[in-house]
Chains A and B, each alone.
Chain A
Amino acid sequence: MLETTKNIGKDFVLSVEGLTVSFDGFKAVNDLSFYVEENEIRVIIGPNGAGKTTVLDLICGRTAATEGSIKFKGKELTKMKEHQIVHTGVGRKFQNPSIYEDLTVFENLELSFPRGHSVFGALFFKRDKEVIEKISEIAAMIFLGDKLGMSADLLSHGQKQWLEIGMLLIQDPELLMLDEPVAGMSVSERKQTADLLHRITKDRSVLVIEHDMQFVAEIADRVTVLHQGKVLSEGSMERVQSDPKVIEVYLGH
């Protein structure tokens, strides 16, 4: 909290201030404030029920905030609809791979291509060279270059996670939010994902929720620890790890 006060006035990509959401009186997120800088990789950790996923839901508009403000590049997000938030440059990956299993890998990526988002735009959308090239490029990046024609439900769990990351990349968001990107992945898939994240996080800010501490240490610029909907601690991984409050509620377990 101390750190946040001294930061006021600086240019942030994302500033969350006094954010509160209550579900029937239970405050899942309680007067939460934090700031994400440009090109920063921020990891949110915390025990189950700390409100991590709720924070992402609030930022991307899936849940409406009870109080507080979320500003992205100076624009207030709490009043916007989900698709408008996407168009301001926020991309969200869900915890369970959320892809279209009845469509092919190519079609999954194509639907995320940032063009033809209106009804008639979609009706008269042309699969032109630009689209195909972009999709091939992204597919190669997410290790699915040779699986474009495959139906997405045939992919492995890890590949589905990558596909969803790819669907975000093709939107080219300035803020990328990832909810447990390596959950359920094998060791080698995890390494590949860390490698992928390092490559894609250039020139954009990233907000990641993750439980895997080794993975967190590998990618995080800074870490925010949530506990009961509030910030318990914030700072570099070493600092957070040595914070006695954090050790008590989380890492010590």
Chain B
Amino acid sequence: MNNITEFIARNRYSHMIILALLLAVVLPLSMDIFRLNLVGKYLTYAFVALGLVLCWGYGGILSLGQGVFFGLGGYCMAMFLKLEASSPENTQIQSTPGIPDFMDWNQITELPWFWEPFHSFGFTLVAVLVVPALFAFIIAVAMFKRRVGGVYFAIITQAIAAILTILIIGQQGYTGGVNGITDLRTLNGWDIRTDSAKYVLYYVNVVLLFACIFIAGFVVKSKLGRLLVAMREREDRVRFSGYDVSNFKIFVFCLAAMISAIGGAMFTLQVGFMSPSFVGIVPSIEMVIFCALGGRLSILGAVYGTLLVNFAKTSFSESFPELWLFAMGALFIGVVMAFPNGLAGIYQTYIEPRLISKKKGYEKEDPKKKDDNPALANPEEEKTHA
């Protein structure tokens, strides 16, 4: 037993293996497909929380509008699926067959130009990544080149989330309005509503999540990751060490947006619709809470934080729907005040040392002094840099 706990605490991949086992083996075996599909839905939010770890936890850029990128990714996917579901045969009863039903209800007789390319699956996959990244890039260049940061940036991102929601709701004929894009059926002819499709999509989701975890891990372990920490603390010093700080902020903000967008696209596939209620201020802030609870400096913590808050939300809101928001607010305030590094912080300070000291009780490690001589660069790390 000692050996196992010691292994868990010491091996840098062990935490990832545990999460992989949990998501790929334990949960699928212990849940029916309805619950598993729910977990899949939660995991799509984990992408957003993961992006927030990078841009908020490491880079110090608090964005209260990550739902925007989640939504853009989700809408791109939804547009493709909707077009496939709106084939002329399926929509014979409409006054204009071949266009999505909500367009027909809004007296639109022709497919808008920006919907056209979403007939192609290849284009859609690219768009899921590029559209949110481009949008994030425009925001980031406009803000960071002017050195807008901190609270001001948070407020602006929140305003953007609000604006986009209003725009989507207002342009009902083009976007499906407040209902969003619903009644999605097949992906290249493959019915995504069946149980087997849900299993497949769940696993695709887990694999993509791990791909993003690896990318995030690579970024955090690179010099860029340390630069982000340095920028968070002393932006001026970084600038006077010869770095163009705004470029690094733009990069990490765009990366976070892309990761969130993958989550959004997977959400659409697994849940079967996309609506403005996942774009606005409330979901954006909820995602910050997932990240803060899990630990904003911990990539895996963000995943656990998202899962736990959502499990709690589902079980709690089933019994006390009106109390849930208060409970989540209280939880957020409590965690931030008592444990600024969230669950991951609690684990690292209280649990991990115990796992190690079981064997060597006398050796109390100071977390600050870990990694005592980086000059003798540990070869494992070198490999990841390569």
Measured CB to CB, the residues of A under 8 A from B are: 60, 62, 81-83, 86-87, 91-92, 94, 98-104, 106-107, 110-112, 114, 116-119, 122-127, 132, 135-136, 148-151, 153-154, 167, 171
Q: Quick one: which of B212-271 are within 8 Å of A by CB? A: 218-219, 222-224, 226-227, 229-230, 232-234, 236-245, 247-248, 251
Q: Would you call A148 and B375 a contact (CB within 8 A)?
A: yes
Residues in B neighbouring A100, C-beta threshold 8 A:
229-230, 233-234, 237
Tell me if B368 counts as interface (CB < 8 A to partner A). yes
Q: Would you call B369 and A122 a contact (CB within 8 A)?
A: no
Residues in B neighbouring A87, C-beta threshold 8 A:
242
In the bound complex, how far is the Cα of B243 from the Cα of A135, in angstroms? Answer: 19
Q: Would you call A116 and B223 a contact (CB within 8 A)?
A: yes
Residue of B224, B248, B251, B386 with highest tally of chain A CB at under 10 A:
B224
In the bound complex, how far is the Cα of B377 from the Cα of A57, in angstroms? Answer: 36
Q: Would you call A92 and B240 a contact (CB within 8 A)?
A: yes
Q: Would you call B369 and A101 a contact (CB within 8 A)?
A: no
In the bound complex, how far is the Cα of B238 from the Cα of A101, in angstroms? Answer: 13
Q: Would you call A123 and B223 a contact (CB within 8 A)?
A: yes
- How many B residues, CB 8 Å from partner? 37
Q: Would you call A99 and B234 a contact (CB within 8 A)?
A: yes
How many A-B pairs fall under 8 Å by CB? 113
* Selected A-B contacts with CB under 8 Å, 18 pairs: A86-B239, A98-B236, A99-B237, A100-B229, A102-B232, A107-B226, A119-B224, A119-B247, A119-B251, A122-B222, A122-B227, A122-B243, A122-B248, A123-B219, A126-B385, A132-B377, A149-B372, A151-B368
Measured CB to CB, the residues of B under 8 A from A are: 218-219, 222-224, 226-227, 229-230, 232-234, 236-245, 247-248, 251, 368-369, 371-375, 377, 381-382, 385-386
Q: Contacts A110-B226, A149-B369: A86 and B242 contacting too (C-beta < 8 A)?
A: yes
Residues in A neighbouring B244, C-beta threshold 8 A:
81, 83, 117
Q: Would you call B243 and A117 a contact (CB within 8 A)?
A: yes
Q: Would you call A125 and B222 a contact (CB within 8 A)?
A: yes
Q: Contacts A110-B226, A122-B227: A167 and B241 contacting too (C-beta < 8 A)?
A: yes
Residue of B223, B245, B369 with highest tally of chain A CB at under 10 A:
B223
Q: Would you call A114 and B242 a contact (CB within 8 A)?
A: yes
Select one of A82, A102, A119, A127 contacting B233, CB under 8 A: A102
In the bound complex, how far is the Cα of B240 from the Cα of A106, in angstroms? Answer: 18
Q: Contacts A83-B242, A100-B237, A101-B233: A119 and B248 contacting too (C-beta < 8 A)?
A: yes
Closest residue of chain A to B249, judged by CB? A119
Q: Would you call A124 and B385 a contact (CB within 8 A)?
A: yes
Q: Would you call A127 and B242 a contact (CB within 8 A)?
A: no
Closest residue of chain A to B378, judged by CB? A127
Closest residue of chain A to B228, judged by CB? A122
Residues in B neighbouring A114, C-beta threshold 8 A:
242
Question: Would you list the 5 A-B pairs with minimal beta carbon distance, nearest first?
Answer: A86-B242, A125-B223, A122-B224, A149-B372, A100-B230
Q: Would you call A149 and B224 a contact (CB within 8 A)?
A: no
Residues in A neighbouring B240, C-beta threshold 8 A:
60, 62, 82, 86, 91-92
Q: A83-B239, A111-B230 are in contact. List 17 more A-B contacts (CB 8 A).
A: A83-B242, A83-B243, A86-B241, A87-B242, A100-B237, A107-B226, A111-B223, A111-B226, A118-B247, A122-B224, A123-B219, A123-B223, A125-B224, A125-B385, A126-B385, A149-B369, A149-B371
Query: Separation in Å of the A179 CB from the closest CB of chain B?
Result: 11
Residues in B neighbouring A148, C-beta threshold 8 A:
373-375
Query: Separation in Å of the B62 CB from the closest CB of chain A?
Result: 17
Query: Separation in Å of the A135 CB from the closest CB of chain B?
Result: 7
In the bound complex, how far is the Cα of B234 from the Cα of A127, in angstroms? Answer: 22
